[in-house]
Structure 1
Amino acid sequence: MNVFWLSFCFLSVVCILLYYSSGKGVQSQDDREFFLFQQTYLCVYLLAVGADWLQGPYVYVLYESYGMTSYQINLLFGVGFGSSMLSGTFIGIFADQYGRRLNCVVFAFLYIGSCITKHFPHFSILLVGRVLGGMATSILFSAFESWAVCEHNKRGFTELQLGLIFSKATFFNSVISIAAGYVAQVVADIYGYVAPFDVSIIFLVVLIVCILKLWNENYGDSNSNSTVSFATAGKVILNDKKVFLLGIIQSLFESAMYVFVLKWTPLLTPKTLIDNSAIPHGIIFSSFMLSVMIGSFLFTYLTNKFRIENFMRFVLFIASFSMLTPVLIPQIKVCVLLSFFGFEICVGIFWPSFATMRGHFVPEKVRSTIMNIFRIPLNLIVLLVLLQDFSTETTFFLCTFSLLSACIAQHVLYKLTNHHHHPEPHNECV
C-alpha cells in the first residue's frame, strides 16, 4: 500500500473519530426551529454543490475528446473565470433587488444551459457554455449564503448557530464532492464523458423544485435601482474597514486556492513516492476533501474557544507556510503531499469562518452585491495566472505571498475588532 492510500486511510480514521467525538457538542439541543431551518438550507445547498461537483472531474477530458487543443481548452477555462468576474456585480445586484431565492433558481437554469452545451463538440457552443457556467458560479458563491444569513438573522438565531450551519455545510460539501466524483466516474465509464453533466441536470431540476417548495423569498434593498445598489456597495467597502479587509482576505486566499487546484498535479505527477506509475488522482482528491472535513470540525472546536478574527490569523499563516513547502523542497514528495493536506485543512476552517464573519460585518441590503464584488479581484488574479506561463515553483511562491498578505490583513482586522464585541447582525432584509 503506497503513501497515497495510507494517507487516505489515516485521514478517513481521523474524520470518523472527529465526527463521533464532536457530534454531541455541536448539535443544537432544544431548538427544533433552528434544526428545521438548518435542514432546509442544507438540503438545497448540497443539491447545488452536488450538481457543481459532478461536472468538475470530466470538463477537461471532455474537451480533449472533442479534439480541442490545449490553447482552446485554456481559453475556455479563461472565459469561465472572466464570465464569473464580469457578471458577478450585476448578478449580485439582481439578487439583492429581486430576491435571493429567485437568483438561486436562475443559477439552476444557467447551469442546466451550460450542461446542455457539453453535448456539442463545437468550440463556439462550448464557449457559450463556459459563459453560462461562469455566471452560475457567481450565484453559487453568493446568493445561497445571502439567503441563509438573512433568514438566520430574521429568525433571531445566535452567532454560534450561524457558524454551525456553515461548518456543517463545509463538512457535507466535502462528503458530496467525494460521492459526486465516484458517481461521475461510474456514469462516465458506462455512458461516456458527457454523462456526468446529464446527471448534474437531474440534480438541478430537483434543486429548482426544492427551492420553490422549501424556501421563502428574501431581499436586500428591493426598492433601490442598480446604480444606487452598486454605489451603496462601493461606499460600504470603502468606508467600512472591516468589510474592505474581509474582501481583500477573501480574494487573496481564494485566488491562491483556485491556483492550487489547477497546479497541484504537476508537483506530484513527475515521480510518485514509490515508482513512476501514474498517481491516483481520485484518491488524492478524496484525501483533500477529507482534509477539508477535518478543517470543518476544527472550526467548530475553535469557535467554542476563541474569536474567529483571532484564530484565523494563525490559520492563514499555516496556509502560507504550506504553500511555501513546494518552493523550498519540491523534490521531497512526502513533505509536499503533507503540506497540501495542511492547506486543505486550512480551507475547511476558512469557509465557515468567513461565511460567519460576512454574516456579521456585511450589510444585508447589499450583501449579494458586495460578495460578488469581492469575487472580481479573485477571478482576475486566477485569470492572470492562468494566462501566464509561470513555472510551478514561481506559481506556488506567488500563492505563498498572497496567503501571507491575507494573514497580515487578517491581523489588522483582528486589531480593529479587538476589545469590541461583535456588532448586532445587519437585519434589513425583507
Structure 2
Amino acid sequence: MANNKTQCFTCNKEKITYRCKGCLKEFCFMDLTEHQQRLKDELNCITNDYDEFKQRINEQKLSPQNHLLREQINLWEKESIEKIQHKAQECRENLIKSSQICINDIEMKYKDLNEQIKQIRKENVFNEISFDYLRNRLMKMTQELNNLSNMSIQQDSKSFINEISIIFSKKPGWGKWEQNPITVAGGNGPGQELNQLSRPFGIFIDENKNIFIADHRNDRIVEWKYNAKEGQIIAGRTEEGKRTDQLNYPTDVIVDQQTHSIIIADSLNRRVIRWLNQNQQILIENIDCYGLAIDKNGFLYVSDYKKNEVRRWIMGEYNNEGIIVAGGNEQGNKLNQLNHPTDIFVNEDESVYVSDTGNHRVMKWRKDSKEGRIVAGGNGQGRNRNQLSSPRGVIVDYFGQIYVADYFNHRIMRWSEGKEEGEIVVGGNQLNHPNVGNCLQSSYRYAIFDSYGLRRTTIERIYLCANISTLTLGTLTSSLSDKYGRRTACILSAIFYIISCLSLNINVVWIFFIGSAARGTAHSLYNTNFEAWLVQAHHNSGLSTDSLKQILANSFVVLSVIAIAVGFVSEYSVDLFGYVAPFDIAIGIYAIMLVFISTQWAENYGDKEASTTTSFITAFQVLRNDPRIVLVGLITVFFEVTLYIYGIEWTPALQHASQWIIYEPLPLGIIYSCISVFNLIGIIVFKPLSKRFRVQSFMLVIFLFTALSFCMLVIFPDVQPVVLGSFCLYELCVGICLPSISLLRSQYLPDSVRATLMNYFSIPRVVLMFVVIVWHLPFAIIFTFCGVTSIMAFICLLILRSMKAPEEYIVPSENVALLPQTTFEASDGIDNKSTTININNE
C-alpha cells in the first residue's frame, strides 16, 4: 500500500489513505481496520462452508447407502462360500462313494480268482493256458486299481455363482479412447528444424500442458508450448558431445517443479544432468541411465539398463550410490530380478512401476520390498492380450490403471492390477504379422510411409502388392524377355525401379500402390535377366569356364562393396534430408545404370522365333524331361526363400533380442554395412574354392553352415551378440552361395529359356514367402523353417551330385563341369513331340 492524501472510500474525507490490494480502493486508517475485519469475517464464512463440505464427505463415507451396499456384498460373499462348500462336500462324497464301489468290485474279482487258484491247487490240474489266464486277469485288475488314481476334476466353464460388480452413475475415466489422435509435437518428418523431431523418446507434460521431449537422435531437449506450431530447444545443441552443454542420445526428461529445472537421462554420456536457465549440473555419473521419475517427496529415481536395477536418491544428495528400490540381483526373470529395465513410474504410495523390457512385462515394487510383482505381461513375448513385446513407456492413473507402450506390438495397453489380461487402448488393430511389421517399421521404406501418416494395415498392403506383382506381372514380363531381348528387360527393370522411387515423393496412396507394383515387376526382371544376359553373352563370346567364374566372383564383390557403402550412405542421408533421401539417391544410380546398359550392352535372346506360349511350354518341357534342372530349381528356391525371409526378419530379430544389448538404439544402416563385410569375405572365399573343388562338392558344406546359423537363432533368440553373429555367419554363406548357384545354373539351364525357367523358380519362392507373411509365424518357427529349407537344399544338391552330369567338357585345371552352349528349337505347335532339344558341343 502507498501513502496518499486522498478521499477515503468510507468516510469520504481527505486523509492519508491506504490502498487495498484486493478491491483497489483507498481507506483511512480507521476505516481500513474495519475493512480488514470485514474481510476476516468473510474468510471465516468461507472456511465454515469448507468445513461443512468436509463433513458431508465424511458422512458420505459412512452413509446408509454405502452401508447397505456393503451388507449386500457381504451377503453375496457368504452365500457364494456356502455354495462352494456345499459343492465341494458333494464332490468329496461322490469321490469316496465311487472309489469304494470300484474297490469292492475289484475285491470281488480278486476273491473269485483266489478261489480258482485254490481249486487248481487242490485238483492239481494246471498248464500254461491256465497260467496265461490267471496272469491276464491279474493284469486287468491291476490296471483297474491303478485307474482309481487317474481320476480327475472337470471344471465347468459356466459358473454357478452369480458375479456382481459396482455400477457407477458416473463412470471413472477409463472408457473408450479416441482412435484418431491429433499431433501435438512434430509431425513434419524427421529432422532438426524446430517443428521436427528425430526418434523422440521420453516425454514430460507439466501442469500447464507444456510438453518436454527427449529428442533422441537430435541430441537435445525441446519444449512445445500448448498448441504451439514448433518447439524451442531448452537443452543440448542438436549435435552429440560430452561437454556439459551437450547431450548424447538422451532417453528421458522430467521437470523438477520445486526448482523449475529439467533433469535429463543423458544415456550415451552415462550421466544424469540438471539444466537450469542454461546452467548445467551433473547429478549422477557413470550410470547407464534410461528412465527417470520423481516422487511426491522430491526423491529422484533412475533405471540402469545394464545393471538391471532402479535406484533412488534424495534430491540434492547425489554424492552417494543411492538406494536400490527395484532389481539389483543381476539379470534374470525372477521376481527379484530385471532384464533391461527402461521407463519407470512412481505413484503416491512410492511404489515403483518398471518396464522390464527384456522380460516383456511390467513390474511393481512396493516401498522397501525385496521383490516385485508382475502387473502386466509376464507370459512371454507375443501379441495376445496377456502378453507384451518389449514394453517401454509406463504410467499409472488415479484409479490404478496401468498404461503401457507395447513397443514391438505398436499399441498402448491398459491393465488393471491383478487382471490376467490387458485391453488395447490405442493401436493393435492391424492385420499384420508382427515380425513383418517390426521389419518394415525398422526400414526406411516403412518410415517414409509412416511419416506420410498411413495406417499400418495400408503400409503392409503396399508391401504385399510388390510380392503379388513379382508373382504375376514380373513372371510374365520376364518370360517375354527370352523373345524380345534380355538387355531390353534390364532397361525396363531400371525404368520400373525409377518409377517406384519417384512414387515415394508423392503422398497419394494409389500412387504408392502403383510404385509398389512397379518395384515388384522391376525386382523380377532384375533377378532373372541380368544373370541370363551375362551367361548368354559369355557363351556367345566363347570364353572359358574360368572366365565366367571370375566374372561372377568380381560382380558379386562389387555388389557387396556397394552394399557396405549403401548402409552408411542411407544412415547419414536420412539424418540429413529425411527418409526420402535414399530413394532419391537411388534414382540417380538407376539412371546411370540405364544409360550404361543402353550404350554398352549388346542385345541377346532366348528363342526369338518362339511365341510367348511356346516359350512357356518349352520351359515346362525342359523341366519335365530333365530332373537335374528341377533339382537346380529346388536348390535355388530353397536358398532364395531363406535369403528373402532373412531380408525381412533380420532387423526385428535384432531388436527383439534383449539380452547383452550391443547398442541402444540399433544403428541399422551401420549394422547392415558391417554384416555385408562378411558377405564380401564369402565372395572372396568363393574364388579359391571354385578353383579347387566342384560347386556340387563345397556347397554341401556351405548349406550345412547355413542351417547352423538358423539353428543358433532358434536356440539363442534373445542374446543380441549371438543373433548378430548368426547373421554374420549366414552372410558369409550367402557370399559363397550367390556366385556358386549362378555358376550351377549356368551349367544346367539352357540359354534359350533361361529367363522363363528362373521365373518358374520364383513362383514357389513367392508362395512360401506368402505363407510366412499370412500365417503370422513366430520367430522360432520362421528360423526353424529356414533351417529346414537349408537342409532341403543340401539334400537336393546331394541327389544332383550323385546323378550323371550333363554333356560337358572338363577343364583340365579344375573339376568343374560346364554345360556347353545349347539351343532349344520348338515349333509353334503345342504338341510335345514337336519340341526337340539340340545340344551343340563346341
Q: Which has the larger radius of gyration?
A: 2
Q: Which whole-Å deviations, capped at 9, do the CAs of 1:238-278 have from their partners, x for residues lacking one?
A: 22112111111111111111111211223322425246722
Which amino acid in structure 2 is aligned with residue 416 of structure 1? M
329 and 187 in structure 1: CA distance in 2 versus 1, 3 angstrom threshold: closer
Measure how far apart 1:403 and its partner are: 1.0
Q: Which residue of 1 aligns with 2:685?
A: 298
- 1:109 positional shift: 1.3
8 A Cα contact 1:362 1:426, kept in partner: no
| Pair 1:384–1:288, CA change in 2 (3 A) | same
- TM-score normalised according to structure 2 size: 0.43
Q: Alpha-carbon deviation of 1:92?
A: 2.4
1:104 aligned to 2:479? no
**SS of 1:224's equivalent?**
coil
Shift of 1:213: 1.2
Distance 2:480 2:576 in 1: 40
Q: Secondary structure at the match of 2:524?
A: helix
CA distance in 2, matches of 1:362, 1:71: 40
Does the Cα contact within 8 Å between 2:661 and 2:720 map onto a contact in 1?
no
1:234 alignment partner, SS class: helix
* Matching residue of 2:603: 217
Conserved? CA contact 1:88–1:376, under 8 Å:
no
* Percentage identity across paired residues of the two chains: 32
SS in 2 for 1:129: helix
1:344 maps to which of 731, 742, 749: 731
Is 1:166–2:552 an aligned residue pair? yes
**Alignment partner, residue 58 of structure 1:** 444
Task: Pick which of 247-256 and 336-345 moved more.
Answer: 336-345
In structure 1, what is the Cα distance between the partners aligned to 2:486 and 2:805?
33
Post-superposition CA distance 1:271-315 (Å, at most 9, x none): 252467222322321122111111101111111111001111111
Question: 2:702 — aligned with what?
Answer: 315
Question: 1:313, 1:411 within 8 Å by CA — same for their partners in 2?
Answer: yes
> Alpha carbons of 1:191 and 1:340: their partners in 2 closer, same or farther (altered >3 Å)?
closer
2:64 corresponding residue in structure 1? none
Whether 1:335 and 2:722 are equivalent positions in the alignment is: yes
Q: How does 1:372-387 map to 2 (within 5 A)?
A: 372-387=759-774
Q: In 1, Cα distance between the equivalents of 2:450 and 2:604?
A: 42
**2:455 counterpart of 1:69:** yes
Question: Corresponding residue for 1:234?
Answer: 620
Is the 2:481–2:488 contact (alpha carbons within 8 Å) kept by the matching residues of 1?
yes
Distance 2:639 2:745 in 1: 15
Structure 2 partner of 1:133? 519
Offset at 1:325? 1.0
Name stretches of at least 5 consecutive residues in structure 2 with no aligned partner.
1-441, 811-816, 825-842
CA distance in structure 1 between the partners assigned to 2:443 and 2:618 by the alignment = 39
TM-fit CA distance, 1:82: 1.6
Which structure ranks higher in relative contact order (CA pairs < 8 Å, sequence separation ≥ 6)? Answer: 1
Q: What's the counterpart of residue 664 of structure 2?
A: 277
2:821 corresponds to = 426
Q: Which amino acid aligns with 1:160?
A: D
Q: 1:329 to 1:206 in 2, by over 3 A?
A: closer
Task: Report the Cα distance in structure 1 between the residues aligned to 2:764 and 2:636, rounded to whole angstroms.
Answer: 10
Task: State whether residues 154 and 427 of structure 1, in contact with CA within 8 Å, keep that contact through their aligned partners in structure 2.
Answer: no
Q: Read off the aligned partner of 1:189 and give its amino acid letter.
A: D
1:96-119 CA deviation, whole Å, 9 max, x = no partner?
101111111111111111112111
C-alpha distance in structure 1 between counterparts of 2:534 and 2:453, whole Å: 42
From 630, 640, 643, give the equivalent of 1:257: 643
Please give the secondary structure, in 1, of the residue aligned with 2:605: coil
1:85/1:379 contact within 8 Å kept: yes
CA change 1:323–1:204 in 2 (3 A) is same
**In the alignment, is the contact (CA less than 8 A) between 2:478 and 2:759 conserved in 1?**
yes
Does residue 369 (structure 1) correspond to residue 756 (structure 2)? The answer is yes
Aligned residues: 374
TM-score w.r.t. structure 1 length?
0.83
Distance, in Å, in 2 between the alignment partners of 1:298 and 1:140 is 25
After superposition, give the CA deviation of every residue in 1:137-171 in whole Å (9 maximum; x if it has no partner).
01111111111111101111111211111111111
Q: Contact between 1:237 and 1:243, CA under 8 Å: does it hold in 2? A: yes
Which secondary structure does the structure 2 equivalent of 1:384 belong to? helix
Unaligned runs of at least 5 residues, structure 1? 1-55
Following superposition, the deviation at residue 359 of structure 1 comes to: 1.2
Quick one: which amino acid aligns to residue 425 of structure 1?
A: P
